[in-house]
């Protein structure tokens, strides 16, 4: 059988730096586990704009549609702040999500024991945390029409529209319930049904879909309360289901429960392809971190854990994903820290490459 194919879009800022470590990990699985991928690379975001004048070339979009999975680093940066909105780096990422129809964005937040002391919250609040945010990714206010900046009565008006069809809510809800069935069978759905009609529909449809999952306990929460509960008592949650914008914000919030935004991976999944694998893109939750880009300081773990999610969700290699996650857990337990994971006690942080070295060594030890 042909090797599975991967398209790497490293992007901007720290994207290429963290992706270099993922490439070494991919190489390790080829050498040591006979798990070989056909890897191709292309440009996205500001890097694509610099080369082609657009944040995603049509050829790159076509390649993304054709491969078994896409791995993306990060896009954006101050250099591109003044570009026309239509060619901003972030538009490249949003085009990939929309055209690949990646409606289910899985954002796990897990607190590794070794980092429980490091979270900005009390250790008891986060130790042992393991939650999964399912963020709807292809609709809502990110894509709703009408949108734009218009002149009305000699004044500029900025417009975005929150819009959800019941089919869009239903498929995101099914993704969340299916995941909950493999976890602790609890879903908390978050919206603002108290102030938004789209929230009322969201709550109705999620409740209807729940009828097919009688074993799963379903609760509903207003998203603002959800943000508060996430920092008050995050372990009350198993799967959180929410829309595109609330999911963006709640997942950054959840990142700090794990110690650093540099720890949070994600999988964006769509419909099954002809070969049975879901359309998929894997990317860290963090961005291009312009404040530390080019300095070798970035934590590569979020991007490496995103590759672990690819092993699990695209390639049915759950035990190899476990191996990679265990290697990361081990290096953290041994005290390996990039700068973002340094506590007030200080010490010398590892560089991005040194963290990669440590994880590769732990993988070798796992054999």
**Rounded to an integer, what distance in angstroms lies between the CA atom of residue 356 and that of residue 328?**
10
d(CA 268, CA 318): 17
What is the C-alpha to C-alpha distance for residues 176 and 299, in angstroms, rounded to an integer? 29
Q: Which of 42, 68, 248, 340 is catalytic?
A: 248
The answer to whether residue 72 forms part of the interface with ligand IPM (CB under 6 A) is: no
Sketch the per residue contact string, 260 through 279, with ligand NAD: x for CB under 6 A, - otherwise: -xx-----------------
The residue from 193, 206, 292, 321 that contacts ligand NAD (CB under 6 A) is 292
Position among 168, 248, 325, 340 found at the interface with Mn ion (CB under 5 A): 248
Q: Retrieve residue 46's tokens.
A: 């500001």
Size of the residue set binding ligand NAD (CB under 6 A): 22
Determine contact, residues 72/11, Cβ cutoff 8 Å. Answer: yes
Distance (Å, whole) CA 147 – CA 141: 9
296 neighbors 21 (Cβ within 8 angstroms): no
Q: Is 252 a catalytic residue?
A: yes
Beta strand 130-136 pairing with 239-242: parallel
- Annotated active-site residue 282? The verdict is no
DSSP 16-63: HHHHHHHHHHHHHHHHHH----EEEEE--THHHHHHHSSSS-HHHHHH
Asked if 325 is part of the footprint of Mn ion (rule: CB under 5 A), the reply reads no
Strands 155-161 and 144-152: antiparallel
Q: Which residue is nearest to ligand IPM (CB)?
A: 90
210-220 as b/e: b if 16+ CB within 10 A? beebeebebeb
Which of 18, 100, 106, 285 lies at the binding interface for ligand IPM (CB under 6 A)? 285
Question: E strand or H helix at 203, and its extent?
Answer: helix 197-210
Please state whether beta strands 130-136 and 155-161 pair in parallel, antiparallel, or not at all (unpaired).
unpaired
Q: Does residue 283 belong to the site contacting ligand NAD (CB under 6 A)?
A: yes
Q: Confirm whether residue 319 is marked as ligand binding.
A: no
Note the maximum CA span of the chain. 69
Residue in 192, 213, 279, 282 annotated catalytic: 192
**Shortest separation between residue 155's beta carbon and ligand IPM, angstroms:** 27
Cis peptide before 281 (omega within 30 of 0): no
Indicate which single residue of 291, 316, 334, 364 sits in contact with ligand NAD (rule: CB under 6 A): 291
Min dist. Cβ of residue 90 to ligand IPM (A):
4
By CB under 6 A, tell whether 94 contacts ligand IPM.
yes
In the complex, least distance from residue 201 CB atom to Mn ion, rounded to whole angstroms: 24
21 scored as a contact of ligand NAD (CB under 6 A): no
Is 364 catalytic? The answer is: no
Task: Say how far apart CA 48 and CA 305 lie, in whole Å.
Answer: 25
Using rule CB under 6 A, residue 288 touches ligand NAD: yes
8 A C-beta contact, residue 40 and residue 63: yes
Structure tokens at 339: 């700068």
Give dist(CA 102, CA 68) in Å, integer. Answer: 13
Residue 71 in the binding site for ligand IPM (CB under 6 A): no
93 binds ligand NAD (CB under 6 A): yes
Catalytic residue among 38, 113, 117, 224: 224
The answer to whether 133 contacts ligand NAD (rule: CB under 6 A) is no
Dihedral pair phi/psi, residue 160, rounded to 5°: -135, 150
Positions marked active-site: 142, 192, 224, 248, 252
Contacts with ligand NAD, residue ranges (CB under 6 A): 14, 18, 74-77, 90, 93, 261-262, 283, 286-292, 298-299, 302, 340
Contacts with Mn ion, residue ranges (CB under 5 A): 248
Q: Which residues are annotated as a binding site for NAD(+)?
A: 77-90, 287-299
Q: Which residues are annotated as a binding site?
A: 77-90, 97, 107, 135, 224, 248, 252, 287-299
Contacts with ligand IPM, residue ranges (CB under 6 A): 76, 90, 93-94, 248, 285, 287
């Amino acid at each position: 059988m042909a090797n599975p194919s991967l398209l790497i879009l490293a992007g901007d800022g720290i994207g290429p730096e963290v992706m270099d470590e993922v490439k070494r990990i991919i190489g390790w699985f080829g050498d040591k586990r006979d798990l070989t991928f056909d890897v191709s690379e292309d440009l996205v975001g500001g890097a694509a704009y610099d080369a082609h004048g657009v944040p995603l070339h049509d050829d790159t979009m076509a390649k993304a549609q054709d491969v078994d999975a896409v791995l993306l680093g990060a896009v954006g940066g101050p250099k591109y702040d003044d570009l026309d909105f239509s060619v901003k780096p972030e538009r490249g990422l949003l085009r990939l999500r929309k055209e690949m129809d990646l409606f289910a964005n899985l954002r796990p937040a897990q607190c590794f024991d070794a980092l429980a002391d490091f979270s900005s919250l009390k250790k008891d609040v986060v130790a042992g945390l393991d939650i999964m945010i399912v963020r709807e990714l292809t609709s809502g206010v990110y894509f709703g029409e009408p949108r734009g900046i218009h002149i009305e009565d000699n004044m500029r008006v900025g417009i975005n529209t929150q819009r959800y069809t019941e089919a869009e809510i239903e498929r995101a809800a099914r993704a969340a319930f299916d995941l909950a069935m493999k976890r602790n069978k609890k879903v908390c759905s978050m919206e603002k049904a108290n102030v938004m009609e789209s929230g009322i529909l969201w709550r109705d449809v999620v409740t209807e879909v729940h009828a097919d999952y009688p074993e799963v306990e379903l609760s509903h929460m207003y998203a603002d309360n959800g943000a508060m509960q996430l920092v008050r008592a995050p372990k009350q949650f198993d799967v959180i289901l929410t829309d595109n914008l609330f999911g963006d914000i709640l997942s950054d919030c959840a990142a700090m429960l794990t110690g650093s935004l540099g720890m949070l991976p994600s999988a964006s999944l769509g419909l099954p392809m002809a070969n049975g694998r879901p359309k998929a893109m894997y990317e860290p939750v963090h961005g291009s971190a312009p404040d530390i880009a080019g300095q070798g300081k970035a934590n590569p773990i979020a991007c490496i854990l995103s590759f672990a999610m690819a092993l699990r969700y695209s390639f049915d290699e759950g035990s190899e994903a476990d191996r990679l996650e265990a290697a990361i857990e081990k290096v953290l337990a041994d005290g390996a820290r990039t700068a973002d994971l340094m506590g007030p006690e200080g010490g010398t942080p590892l560089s991005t490459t040194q963290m990669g070295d440590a994880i590769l060594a732990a993988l070798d030890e796992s054999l």
